[in-house]
Amino acid sequence: MIETQEIIDSIALTRISFYNLTGMLELYRRLGSASEVLSHHAHIRDVLPEASPRLVEAFRDISEPLRRAQIEYEWDMANHVTPLCLADPRYPERLRHCPDAPLVLYYKGSADLNQAKVINIVGTRRCTAYGQDIVRRFLTDLKQRCPQVLVVSGLAYGIDICAHRQALANGYETVGVLAHGLDDLYPPRHRATAEEMTRQGGLLTEFMTTTNADKMNFVRRNRIVAGLCDATLLVESAPKGGGLITCEIAQGYGRDVFAFPGPVGAESSRGCNNLIRDNGAALISDAADFVHAMGWDDDRQRLSARQTGIERQLFPQLSAEEQRVVDALRANNDLQINLLTVKTALPVPTLTATLFSLEMKGVVRSLAGGIYHLIN
């Protein structure tokens, strides 16, 4: 468990670093904890010589950030909100390794944020019946193919709320990433759905209480939507919009991006069609396309094999790709799939197929949170 003071100190750093996130993350990673960062507040350049004057100035007086952090922590405890700092094992592993990961996330919910499969569905706030039907059919079919998937979106009007509600209807857990603190909800008319999500998913934000849902905050929260997930799916978008921003961020993180095409000439689909045309997203038309592209076809076979028992082969013959995965896990066991992608330089579809093969040979075992363990 993370000590209370480390949580409070982490919250205080978010007050200091709101406009200096990159520099603050570098400080945190060099020193290893928020408490250590604050203990060096008067000598920041001893740790980070390239620290900007603005960051150095922000550390000049830390009394007010600490006072506000204490208030925030007490509110969280009184309202069943869990502050997740970077060192917390419950912090989303996929997001932790992003270059602009939030120092603290505030979470109210029941879902594990480190599930093996996490996707987001985003799109226009002015969705049509066509877009709503895509979301409904996609999630209904996906449930039959992949029973355990965490569905993420932004709880906004249009595609976002449609994705949340259809996820709930299909028995999926679903998490809404907010652009304000958890003491409020925007838009208010989605409150009933949000309350249901806290029991079957959750609400997540990097923003402290009393933070307004300003336009800039919606752009900031898009990086969390992208960073939490294995894949971003765009359903209906005008030529410009928040969904396209999320897709661009996801590409920058090396995540898979997919888009559903729409009618030629339809304003609500121009963003999707343009993204596909420009090779910014892979075209999919249904859940089968998506599952195949992600290499998730083998879920049912894997489940059946586990139920009947997998016997480890004494001298398994390994392909070149399998050997690369084994070597990576031998050097550092229990790696999340996104880290394995980096260490093996294998594309995600190839890696998932390789991991499946290794699991069938009894060489590796998948753990909660999309983590793979090499069996010795």
User: Are 144 and 263 in a shared domain?
Assistant: yes
Nearest to 261 by CA among 285, 244, 289: 285
The reply to whether 322 and 354 lie within a common domain is yes
Please write the tens of the pLDDT for every residue from 359-372: 888 899 887 667 88
Least confident of 33-42, 62-71, 181-190, 349-358: 349-358
Same domain, 284 and 315: no
For residue 5, the cross-strand partners are none
Distance CA 50, CA 56 (A): 10
Tens of pLDDT, residues 279-289: 999 999 999 99
Q: How confident is the model at residue 305 (pLDDT cuts 50, 70, 90)?
A: low
Q: How far apart are CA 85 and CA 203, in angstroms?
A: 16
What's the CA gap between 199 and 184, in Å, rounded?
Answer: 18
Q: Work out the angle at residue 372's Cα, subtended by the Cα atoms of residues 369 and 375, and round it to the nearest 5 degrees.
A: 140
Angle at 218 between CA 148 and CA 154, to 5 degrees: 25
Judged on CB neighbours under 10 Å (0-12, 13-18, 19+), 241 is buried
Percent of the chain with pLDDT over 70: 94
Give the per-residue pLDDT at 22: 85
| Measured distance CA(114)–CA(167) in Å, rounded | 18
Same structural domain for residues 316 and 271? no
Task: Determine the structural domain holding residue 70 and report its residue range.
Answer: 4-79
CA nearest neighbour of 125 among 163, 157, 161, 154 = 157
The model's pLDDT over 200-224, given as tens digits with 9 standing for 90+, comes to: 999 999 999 999 999 999 999 999 9
The model's pLDDT over 33-79, given as tens digits with 9 standing for 90+, comes to 999 999 999 999 999 999 889 889 999 999 999 999 999 999 999 99
Predicted pLDDT at 308: 52
Rounded distance between C-alpha atoms, residue 60 and residue 57, angstroms:
5
For the chain, what's the residue count?
A: 376
pLDDT of residue 334: 84
123 and 247 together in one domain = yes
Using DSSP's 3-state secondary structure scheme, residue 68 falls into: helix
Query: What global pTM score does this model have?
Result: 0.82
In a domain, 224, yes or no: yes
Work out the widest C-alpha separation in the chain, in whole angstroms.
62
pLDDT of residue 257 exceeding 60: yes
Of the three residues 294, 329, 358, the one that is the final residue of a domain is 294
CA–CA gap between residue 341 and residue 238 (Å, rounded): 32
DSSP H helical segments within the chain, as ranges?
Answer: 4-16, 21-31, 34-39, 44-47, 53-58, 63-78, 93-96, 129-145, 159-169, 191-199, 215-227, 242-252, 270-277, 287-294, 299-308, 320-331, 337-344, 348-360
Domain match, 305 and 285 both: no
**CB–CB of 95/226 below 8 Å?**
no
Pair 347, 308 in one domain: yes
Which run of H or E residues covers position 118?
Answer: strand 118-123
Lowest mean pLDDT among 93-97, 240-244, 312-316: 312-316
Domain closes at, from 294, 312, 347: 294
Task: Give the per-residue pLDDT at 316.
Answer: 77
User: Rounded CA gap, 46 and 49, in Å?
Assistant: 6
Position 324 scores a pLDDT of 92
For 297, the token pair is 């076809």
pLDDT at residue 23, as a whole number: 87
List the single range of 112-126, 129-143, 177-191, 313-327 with lowest mean pLDDT.
Answer: 313-327
Q: What is the pLDDT of residue 336?
A: 82
Tens digits of per-residue pLDDT, 71-108? 999 999 999 999 999 999 999 999 998 999 999 999 99
Q: What is the mean pLDDT of the chain?
A: 91
In a domain, 100, yes or no: no
Q: State mean pLDDT over 125-138.
A: 97
Q: Between vectors from CA 96 to CA 215 and to CA 290, what angle results, nearest 5°?
A: 80
Percent of the chain exceeding pLDDT 90 equals 74
Q: Looking at the structure, do residues 136 and 269 belong to the same domain, yes or no?
A: yes
Whether residue 53 is found in the same domain as residue 187: no
Strands 104-109 and 82-85: antiparallel
